[in-house]
Structure 1
Amino acid sequence: MRGAILAAVSLTALAAAAPASAATLNLLIWEAYINEEILADFTGETGIEVRQTFYDSGDARDEILSDPNSNVDVVVTNENGAKLYGNRGIIMALDRKNVPALADYAESWTKRCGGYGVPYLWGTMGILYRSDAITTPPSSWADIMKPAESLRGHIAMYDDHAEAFVAPLVLLGKSVNANDNETLKAAFELMKAQRPYVLTYDYVVTSIQSADKGPKIYMALGYSGDQYTLNGKVGAPGLWRYVVPREGTLSWLDCITVSERSQNRDLALKLVDYISNARNGARNATKLNMPTASTAALALLPEDVRSDPEIYAAPEILAKSQLQEELTVQSVQARRRIISSLAQLSDAR
Structure 2
Amino acid sequence: MGKNMSVSKTLLVAFFLLATSVVAKAAEPKELVFLSWPDYMDPEILEEFEQRTGITIKQSYFDSDTARGELLLETEGKGFDVALINGASIRILAKRGWLEPLDELSIPNLKHVDPRFRTAFEKAEDFGVPYFWGTLGIVYRQDLVPFPVTSWMDLLQPVKQLHGKVSMIGDSADMIGVALKALGYSLNSTAPQELREAESLLQAQAPAVKTYRYISLNENSALLTGQLAMSMMYNGDTRMLQEYNENIAFVFPKEGGNIWIDYLSVLSASPKKAAAKRFINFLNEPEIAARLAQYVYYATPNKAAEALLPEDFRNDPVIYPSEETLKNFETYQRLPPRAQKNRAAIFSRIVY
Per the TM superposition, whether the score is higher than 0.5 is: yes
TM-score range, shorter chain: 0.7 to 0.9
What's the secondary structure of 2:109's corresponding residue? helix
Who is 1:336 aligned against? Answer: 344
CA RMSD of aligned residues (A): 2.2
Kindly indicate whether the alpha-carbon contact (under 8 Å) linking 1:73 and 1:259 is maintained by their aligned counterparts in 2: yes
Once the two structures are TM-superposed, the CA of residue 155 in structure 1 deviates from its matched residue by 0.6
Kindly indicate whether the alpha-carbon contact (under 8 Å) linking 2:142 and 2:248 is maintained by their aligned counterparts in 1: yes
Alignment of 1:65-214 (within 5 A): 65-66=72-73, 67-68=75-76, 70-112=78-120, 113-134=124-145, 136-205=147-216, 209=220
Kindly indicate whether the alpha-carbon contact (under 8 Å) linking 2:217 and 2:240 is maintained by their aligned counterparts in 1: no
Alignment of 1:1-349 (within 5 A): 22-66=29-73, 67-68=75-76, 70-112=78-120, 113-134=124-145, 136-205=147-216, 209=220, 215-231=226-242, 236-344=244-352
Cα deviations across residues 8-64 of structure 1 (Å, max 9, x unaligned)? xxxxxxxxxxxx971110000000011111111000110001100000011111122
Sequence identity (%): 32
1:118–1:185 Cα change, 3 Å: same
Once the two structures are TM-superposed, the CA of residue 208 in structure 1 deviates from its matched residue by 8.9
1:164–1:69 Cα change, 3 Å: closer
**Aligned residue identity for 2:176:** F
1:292–1:229 Cα change, 3 Å: same
Once the two structures are TM-superposed, the CA of residue 333 in structure 1 deviates from its matched residue by 2.7
Unaligned 5+ runs, structure 2: 1-26
Q: Provide TM-score, normalisation by structure 1.
A: 0.86
What's the secondary structure of 1:246's corresponding residue? coil
Q: Provide TM-score, normalisation by structure 2.
A: 0.86
CA distance in 1, matches of 2:97, 2:230: 40
Once the two structures are TM-superposed, the CA of residue 172 in structure 1 deviates from its matched residue by 1.4
Compare CA radii of gyration and give the structure with the larger one.
Answer: 2
What's the secondary structure of 1:315's corresponding residue? coil
The aligned length equals 322
Cα deviations across residues 156-196 of structure 1 (Å, max 9, x unaligned)? 01221101112211111211112232221110111112122
CA distance in 1, matches of 2:210, 2:224: 7
Unaligned 5+ runs, structure 1: 1-19, 345-349
Q: Which runs of 4+ in 1 moved over 4 A?
A: 206-214
Kindly indicate whether the alpha-carbon contact (under 8 Å) linking 2:77 and 2:269 is maintained by their aligned counterparts in 1: no
Kindly indicate whether the alpha-carbon contact (under 8 Å) linking 1:64 and 1:70 is maintained by their aligned counterparts in 2: no
**Aligned residue identity for 2:66:** D
1:97–1:72 Cα change, 3 Å: same
1:207–1:24 Cα change, 3 Å: closer
What's the secondary structure of 1:28's corresponding residue? strand
What's the secondary structure of 1:75's corresponding residue? strand
**Aligned residue identity for 2:232:** L
1:210–1:126 Cα change, 3 Å: closer
Kindly indicate whether the alpha-carbon contact (under 8 Å) linking 2:169 and 2:175 is maintained by their aligned counterparts in 1: yes
CA distance in 2, matches of 1:240, 1:176: 27
